[in-house]
Amino acid sequence: MIAIKDLHKSYKMGSNVLHVLKGINFNVEEGEMVAIMGSSGSGKSTLLNIVGMLDLLDTGSYTLDGVPIVNLNETKAAKYRNKFLGFIFQSFNLINYKTALENVALPLYYQRVPKKERDEKALQYLTKVGLANWATHLPSELSGGQKQRVAIARALAAQPKVLLADEPTGALDSTTSYEVMQLLQEINDEGKTLLVVTHEEDIANMCKRIVQLKDGIIIEDKKVNQVRASEYV
Amino acid sequence: MIFRRDTWSEILSSVTKNKARTTITVIGVLWGIFIYITLSGAAKGLDNGFERQFERVAMNSMFVWTQQTSVPYKGFKTGRFIQLKLNDVRTLKTKIPEIQYVAPRNAKGVFGGDAPTITKDLKHGKYNVYGDFPVVVKIATKDIYDGGRFLNEEDIKHDRKVCVIGERTQRELFNKNENPVGQFIKIDNSYFQVIGVHKFVQGGGFEDDGDIYIPFTTFRKLYNTGENVGWLAIAAYNDADVIEVEKKVKTVLKDIHSVAQEDERAIGSFNLGEIFNKVQGFSKGLTFLSLVVGIATIFAGVIGIGNILLISVKERTRELGVRRALGATPNEVKGQIILESVFLTLVSGVLGIILGALVLAGINAATQDVTDFPYTNPTVPIPYIVGALLIMIILGTLIGLIPAQRAVSIKPIDALREE
Ligand SMILES: Nc1ncnc2c1ncn2[C@@H]1O[C@H](COP(=O)(O)OP(=O)(O)OP(=O)(O)O)[C@@H](O)[C@H]1O
Ligand SMILES: [Mg+2]
């Protein structure tokens, strides 16, 4: 599903160059659930953003679902993001003046799905994350866990190939975190590919594979026995 | 994109989310267009008012009369009084082809002198009496009430003792509901049959609603004026230069009456065309001024919208980043910002137009009965409104380009990081 070869990325900071990713080789098969770990500043988010086409790589190659991601301009990147990728952020990033339903429907709006169909689908995904009754509520009326579930529904709505989650539980207490992880596991069980950036060991262990980043290179890449979040809930 | 209903509901939801900001934004342009509409409507009203003042009189007409000479000439001393004669009419017409009509007129009671006493049964009063040819109505229209008529050629030919009276004369000398047409009144010592009653109109110059018109020939007999003419009312053809014609008329009259050409006093004149041009220039200037002021205010308002959108784009950096992460292309983001700008501009514009129209309607209602102030039917021509709307759409688009460009100039990843 994802094939990354010899990826380098650096940021220019005035006259300094900060070499963040120093040769990443990394493949993800369809249906995997990969945790990306590493200390702060090790480049986890940078890697995820390049996979998410929110940022551009300097050198190396990146292929998504057999499509080589080259010559990426913003318009093309936007179309790919819309079609292939779903994002889940630490801070949810819901649009505050839109209801839960409207937030979930937004990726479909950019796919030009007609309003009625859009709303039906959005409701379907809200039901999936257990928030059908909260469809007309604004984000400010939802708890953190509920917001993240809305965000997950939104990431799913466009039926992407890969879900990218950057510290999805970073802003949640442990009980809520496990609920969210349970939901992500269920989504993975249905065959969706997931990349989860996390600091937390227990969250990482709920994935099927853990990749350790340090100073811009992968120092460890191992399969793990998935801990089911339902055991904690 | 513009024609998707979704696009607009998306825009509606984003402009209605921050009501205070939207309201302030809207007020800027609303004020501009409101000023523009009321000012140019008021200017148009004045314009219409002036036109109404003048519509009774041929725009390119003038009056010419005589006074005492001020320059000795051909052995004549200064201070000689010049008398216009009936023959002058023919001379003027043959010598100056630009002249369309000449109406020689005599009057009693207008320029000094006692007005004749008019008697009807037991009532009597003093009213001005004019000796006129029918042609005078070509220069200054007279509306005659139904059932009556103005003087005609036959009246002139037979020196008929007929008269056209004013509505005030009717009111003062006749009983209510009494039809004056066909009845007789006494002018000084002669009986005249009333053939018509003229309506009072604004802007009739020195004439008023009490005036009585009798045939020129009858007047001549009654007051022994012979070939003498009090003054001339002259109308030039529409395409003629009235000021030029006025000069020619004076030259010809000075020739006929042996007056030095450089004598400025001997022949007096009043040129309506000139006055009218001045007045028209004034209301044109006013219209132009309102256009400039209005457009400047609209401009300022639209710039205000641009400013506020720029701030709002900054505030919404993160939201726009999220939208882009979800698949909004740069063009879709830009389009949204521009359409928000156009939408806000248009909504405020339309509100301003409605408000302006209401105020104009109010002014119109308030000045409905005011006849001595030249203000009629203040309207803004549709092309002006359409033009204003077009300008607003264009300006709204242009000004929206700046925040739109700003919104996409930042990378989505940086936008998402923004706090
Ligand atoms: N846009 C940028 N411009 C300059 N430097 C950047 C940029 N984005 C990230 N960096 C730097 O690159 C390094 C890696 O950042 P990254 O966000 O990938 O770390 P991370 O592993 O996600 O850390 P954290 O666990 O704190 O989120 C950091 O030193 C960061 O300061
Ligand atoms: Mg990070």
Nearest ligand to the CA of A39 is 1
Mean pLDDT, chain B, rounded, equals 84
| Size of chain B in residues | 419
Q: Do B226 and B114 lie in a common domain?
A: yes
Q: Across residues A209-213, what is the average pLDDT?
A: 96
CA nearest B45: which of B386, B382, B358, B380? Answer: B380
Determine the average pLDDT of the residues in B173-200: 87
Ligand 1 pocket, A44 CB below 6 A?
A: yes
- Nearest-CA neighbor of A198 among A183, A187, A209? A209
Question: What are the pLDDT digits (tens) for A72-128?
Answer: 888 999 999 999 999 999 999 999 989 999 999 999 999 999 999 999 999 999 999
pLDDT per position as a tens digit, A1-31: 999 999 999 999 888 999 999 999 999 999 9
* B75, B170: one domain: no
pLDDT tens digit sequence for B141-176? 777 888 889 998 999 999 899 999 988 888 888 888
Atom of ligand 1 nearest to the CA of A167: 27
Chain A: nearest CA to B20, how far in angstroms? 14
Task: Average the pLDDT over B243-248 and give the result.
Answer: 88
Q: Tell me, yes or no, whether B410 and B384 share the same domain.
A: yes
User: What are the DSSP E strand ranges found in B258-310?
Assistant: 267-271
List the single residue in B13, B325, B332 with the smallest CB-CB distance to A81.
Answer: B325
Q: What is the pLDDT of residue A144?
A: 93
Interacting residues of A201 by C-beta distance below 8 A, sequence separation 6+ = none
**Protein residue closest via CA to atom 5 of ligand 1:** A11
How far is residue B113's CA from residue A214's CA, in Å, rounded to a whole number? 117
Helices B87-95, B242-256: crossing angle, 10 deg rounding:
130
Please give the Cα distance from B374 to A197 (Å, whole number).
79
Whole-number Å distance between alpha carbons of B199 and B170: 11
Residue B219 has pLDDT above 80, yes or no: yes
Does B272 map to a domain?
Answer: no
Q: How far is B40 from chain A (nearest CA, A)?
A: 41
| B74 Cβ contact list (under 8 Å, min separation 6) | B258
Q: Which residues contact A107 (CB under 8 A, 6 or more apart)?
A: A82, A86, A154, A157, A158, B326, B327
* Statement to judge: residues B307 and B336 lie in one domain: yes
Question: Based on the domain organization, do B191 and B141 belong to the same domain?
Answer: yes
| Chain A residues lying within 8 Å of B325, measured CB to CB | 52, 54, 81, 87, 93
Nearest CA in chain B to A82: B327
Residue B286 pLDDT class (50, 70, 90 cuts): confident
* Ligand 2 centroid, distance to A43 Cα (angstroms): 7
- For strand A217-223 and strand B117-120, is the pairing parallel, antiparallel, or unpaired? unpaired
How far apart are the two ends of chain B, measured CA to CA in Å?
30
pLDDT of A187 > 90? The answer is yes
Give the pLDDT of residue A138: 95
| Average pLDDT taken over every residue of chain A | 93
pLDDT at residue number A214: 94
Angle at A177 between CA A172 and CA A180, to 5 degrees: 115
Q: Which domain range does residue B87 map to?
A: 68-98+237-265
* Residues of B contacting chain A (CB within 8 angstroms): 4-6, 9-10, 13-14, 17-18, 318-319, 321-332, 408, 411-413, 416
Do B258 and B376 reside in the same domain of the chain? no
So what's the pLDDT on residue B273? 77
Return the sign of the alpha-carbon dihedral for residues B106, B108, B109, B114: positive
Q: Is B321 helix (H, G, I), strand (E, B) or coil?
A: helix
Burial of A1 (0-12, 13-18, 19+ CB in 10 A): middle
What residues contact A169, with CB distance under 8 A and at least 6 apart? Answer: A148, A176, A177, A180, A181, A198, A200, A203
Question: Residues with beta carbon < 5 A to ion ligand 2?
Answer: A 45
**Is B399 in the same domain as B297?**
yes
Maximum average pLDDT range among B28-42, B70-84, B264-278, B320-334: B320-334
Domains of chain A: 2-231 (3.40.50.300)
Other beta carbons within 10 Å of B156: 18
Six token digits for residue B27: 């007020």
- Confirm whether B118 is domain-assigned: yes
Residue B268 pLDDT exceeds 80: yes
| B289: in domain | yes
Q: Residue range B263-281: average pLDDT?
A: 82
Question: What pLDDT is attached to residue A110?
Answer: 92
The DSSP letter of residue B116 is: P
3-state secondary structure of A6: strand
B329 contacts in chain A (CB < 8 Å):
74-75, 78-79, 110
| Tens digit of each residue's pLDDT (9 = 90 or more) over A132-185 | 999 999 999 999 999 999 999 999 998 999 999 999 999 899 999 999 999 999
What tokens does A174 get?
Answer: 């442990």
Structure tokens, B338: 């521009």
User: In the prediction, which pLDDT does A213 show?
Assistant: 95
C-alpha–C-alpha distance, residues B155 and B358, integer Å: 52
| Residues B254, B297 share a domain | no
Mean pLDDT computed over A35-51:
94
Specify the number of domains making up chain B: 3
Residues B378/B363, Cβ–Cβ less than 8 Å:
yes
Share of chain B above pLDDT 70, in %: 93
Neighbours of B298 (CB within 10 A): 27
- Whether A226 and A207 have beta carbons less than 8 Å apart is answered as yes
A106 with B332: Cβ contact below 8 A: no
Enumerate the residues of chain B whose CB falls inside 8 A of the CB of residue A102.
13
Compute φ and ψ for B132, nearest 5 degrees. -130, 155
Is B271 contained in some domain? no
Helices (H) and strands (E) in chain B, counts: 13, 13
Structural domain includes residue B62: no
In a domain, B11, yes or no: yes
Does B138 map to a domain? yes
Residues B181 and B329 in one domain: no
The pLDDT of B363-391, averaged and rounded, is: 73
Q: Are residues B199 and B223 in the same domain?
A: yes
Tokens 């009585």 found at? B212
Strand B129-132 and strand B212-215: pairing?
parallel
Pair (B155, B93) in one structural domain: no
Closest residue CA from atom 19 of ligand 1? A41
* Partners of residue B322 in chain A, C-beta under 8 Å: 93-95
3-state SS, residue A204: helix
Residues B282, B411 share a domain: yes
User: How many C-beta atoms surround the C-beta of residue A39 within 10 A?
Assistant: 12
Under 8 Å between Cβ of B229 and B219:
no
Each residue of B49-69: pLDDT tens digit?
Answer: 777 766 666 678 888 998 888
User: Does residue B355 form part of some domain?
Assistant: yes
Tokens of residue A61, six digits: 């190659």
